[in-house]
Copies of this chain bind each other. A is one copy, B any other.
Amino acid sequence: MVTQDPSFDHVVAVTPRGAASYEVVVGRGLLGAVDRFLPDGVSSLALVCDETVADLYAPVVRQALERTGLALVEIRFPAGEASKTRATKARIEDAMFEAGLDRHSLVVALGGGVTSDLAGFVAATFMRGIATINLPTTLLAMVDATVGGKTGIDTPAGKNLVGAFHHPLAVAADVGTLRSLDPRLVLDGLAEMIKHAVVADEAAFAELSLLPSRLDSLDSGEWAKLVADSIAIKAGVVSDDPTELGRRRILNFGHTIGHGLELLFHWRLSHGRAVALGMVAEARIAEKLGLLQAVDRRRIEDLLDRFGVLSLGPVDSGALLKAMARDKKNRAGRLRMALPSRVGAMHEFDGRWVTDVPVEVVVAVVEELWGQAG
């Protein structure tokens, strides 16, 4: 499945504030070359992945890791968000202790966002923190989870409620793995790539507009460049605001409405669709507030529409608002959103990157997009 000759096509340097900088390498055949990313002084290794990814890619990764001669334990968990629990975290930790891992051990997280969240959180708290190397195997994990250091698990009270900021030592994004990716999962990543372009990089937006609506050749060199560019956008935004209090909030574009839709539809909408729909709604909100011109709003909408994800049954705006109020980011019942001012830039006023949005504007946009007629 995976090319044997590794090509290190692109390298993005990430410099989180208050933590060591690291590199994200985007290329092909990287899974089989993961041993090159290990630092000196590592005592032993844990390879953590879900069962689906294990069947596809664990053998080639294990083979590369075994070249180091270090003791290696492979720990699998059932695929899916349902595994992002305290119980799975405890089981992985106990397996690591059982295997004799210590504070000089290193975790290799192989898989999508669930794996980097879960295995990253395990590493963040294992003996108060050990190193990780991330091997993302989904487009979303490549363009989103590789930068920012967010790790965590879900609790009965909600998603990602318990976790830590923990940056990896290195990330190797092997686009060869994208060939096996479910098209809906491709969309999850693509929505984030479009978001990155809208919030900070018009040239990247233009490049994405050249994509065919039916995506293939996801393992090509051209695609590797698009992925690396998207990672670089996020790295630029996050590096000057690592704890999510200032400009980093622009990365929330599409997510206030999007997360509300996810809650309203009980997570039956894919994340990519929810964010795509959220971006369309929030762009319309920005237009209604006089922050965004109609022509730019239409450009955003047209690009998203190309991937056929914007149809949605009727949405009750009252129920959506109630769902949004349960979002941890909507503090004290106020609706605040990061909104675009044009394609490639976000609205900023007096150092603040979020805008208070009147409830009536949200209701009007929801009716317009997904009212009974829609």
Contacts and interface: CB of A to CB of B under 8 A. Distances in A.
B128 A163 contact: yes
A103 interface: yes
A215 interface: no
A150 B86 CA distance: 21
B125 A328 contact: no
Most chain B CB within a 10 A radius of its CB, from A90, A98, A126: A90
B127 A161 contact: yes
B125 A125 contact: yes
A155 interface: yes
A93 B125 contact: no
A104 B162 contact: no
A1 interface: no
A245 to B, nearest CB: 10
Given A102-B328, A328-B103, A331-B104, A155 B93 contact: yes
Nearest to A153: B125
A18 interface: yes
Interface string A79-109: 0000000100010011001100011100000
A256 to B, nearest CB: 16
A47 interface: no
A164 B93 contact: no
Interface string A118-135: 000100111111000000
A97 B86 CA distance: 15
Contact of A164 (B94, B98, B129, B158): B129
Contact of A152 (B43, B94, B128, B158): B128
A157 interface: yes
Contacts of A8: none
Contacts of A128: 150-152, 163-165
Contacts of A94: 155-157
Contacts of A86: 86, 90
Interface residues of A, number: 34
Nearest to A152: B128
A288 B165 CA distance: 46
Contact of A328 (B93, B98, B127, B332): B127
B331 A162 contact: no
B102 A164 contact: no
Contacts of A164: 124-125, 128-129, 164
Contact of A157 (B97, B103, B163): B97
A32 to B, nearest CB: 29
Interface in A143-170: 150-152, 155-158, 161-165
A126 B162 contact: yes
Nearest to A328: B102
Interface in A56-87: 86
A332 to B, nearest CB: 8
A342 to B, nearest CB: 30
A90 to B, nearest CB: 6
Interface of A: 18-19, 43, 86, 90, 93-94, 97-98, 102-104, 121, 124-129, 150-152, 155-158, 161-165, 328, 331-332
12 contacts: A18-B18, A86-B90, A94-B156, A94-B157, A126-B162, A127-B161, A127-B328, A128-B150, A128-B164, A128-B165, A129-B164, A129-B165
A-B complex: 9 closest residue pairs judged by Cβ atoms: A97-B157, A128-B163, A125-B162, A18-B18, A125-B164, A86-B90, A128-B164, A128-B165, A125-B163
